[in-house]
Amino acid sequence: MDSTALLLMGGGSRAAYQAGVLRGIARLAREFVPDAAGSPFDVICGTSAGAINGVGLARGAQDFLQAAEALVQLWARLHADRVYRTDVSRISASGARWLTALAFGWMTGRTPRALFDNTPLRELLQEEHDAQQLQAAFDAGALRALAVTALSYTTGRHVTFYQSPHVVLPWRRSQRIAVADTIGVPHLLASSSIPFLFPAEPVQLEGNDEWFGDGTMRQMSPLSPAIHLGADRILVVGAASRQQPGWYDTVPASGYPSLAQVAGQALASVFLDGLSADIERLQHVNAMVSRNPEIADARDGWRKIEVLVMSPSERIELIAARHVQRLPATVRALLRPLGGTEARGAAFASYLLFEPEFTRELIDLGERDALARRDELAAFLYGVVPDTMAA
């Protein structure tokens, strides 16, 4: 039986888009396979905020429609203070620590860990995560494998933590390893700790504690976990457009770039680089296998694997620019000197905009994008050729 993987690549609050895509796919499931309650994905891989979405969907793999809607409701009700502390005392202390470190760090010897304290996110994940429900999905056969990827600051290696009831041999590549583990809250915090914004998270690896950050950093082979876990086709849902024209076509030039504008471009490179090149490599392998079927070897990934990529049809930073004033006043005060509340800095702010007005617009965009590609998704996920395609 063919295996279908879902790869979710996140980016802070932008990952609300993925919930919308999944709701759209749930609508297609009701249309094309009304009697199938389970998830169309038996392998789920997540990175960054996509790891949080992926584990949430995996827990509900026995009832895909309900799991997709639960993600939508989570994102639709989310506020920034459920992800990071926004109170005056904490924000003021954070700003003071960074200012002191930049001005007098050589005297104090103390360095701040991150711009924001994500303790509320830890508490939210502890409320939401249900290890027994996840295990039940495995036991019922609704889920074959789950993977979460993070970057070890300690060693510089990308680590894929995976959980599966089946025999899956760990793999090692240059600066990439995979280890079997029971996925939990520490893995989600590690994978979603955006550099500089959120603190690193310790996770035990091979008997030692290592410090981890966002799994999208330096992720040159994002398709690799799904392939190693046996996927025959992979649906990739990103949280940023794969084609991002420069600001010059929408925002007039206005002098020297702000720190927020520079940071936004840096984060965009973190979250966007790697996928396109990895897809090109896979297409090259597919072409070689098609021409030379005798070289196919499933154990080494030398097999034909289909890939379909979903990404926002609108530029999320432009949507964020309309909602940046929805951020708590304390956060706006912290970002304002960096240019983070200006239109040019909206790309940076978009990773922190955990506010319903913004996330709901992304959910709606994701659902529209999925329904706009109804025929492609129906054929890819369910092997159904809709009448519009047949015609």
CB 58 within 8 A of CB 44: yes
Q: Which residues are catalytic?
A: 48, 214
Largest CA distance in the chain: 73
Residue 204's DSSP bridge partners are 209
Helices (H), 234-315: 259-272, 275-291
For residue 388, what are its two tokens? 């519009």
CA separation for the pair 25, 369 (Å, rounded): 10
Q: Kindly report the backbone phi and psi dihedral angles of residue 334, in degrees, each rounded to the nearest multiple of 5, phi listed first.
A: -70, -35
CB 165 within 8 A of CB 205: no
The number of beta carbons lying within 10 Å of the beta carbon of residue 300 is 10
For residue 54, what are its two tokens? 């992926």
Q: Kindly report the backbone phi and psi dihedral angles of residue 44, in degrees, each rounded to the nearest multiple of 5, phi listed first.
A: -130, 125
- DSSP H/E element including 150: strand 145-152
The number of beta carbons lying within 10 Å of the beta carbon of residue 275 is 24
Q: Could you tell me what percentage of the chain is helix, strand and coil, using 3-state DSSP and rounding each to the nearest 5?
A: 50, 15, 35
CA dist 18 → 22, 184, 185, 369 (Å): 6, 21, 20, 10
Nearest CA-CA partner of 228 in 147, 151, 138: 147
Residue ranges of E strands in 70-143: none
CA separation for the pair 314, 239 (Å, rounded): 11
**Burial (CB count within 10 angstroms: exposed 0-12, middle 13-18, buried 19+), residue 140:** exposed
CA separation for the pair 172, 334 (Å, rounded): 42
For residue 282, what are its two tokens? 């896979």
CA separation for the pair 75, 72 (Å, rounded): 5
One-letter amino acid for residue 267 of the chain: L
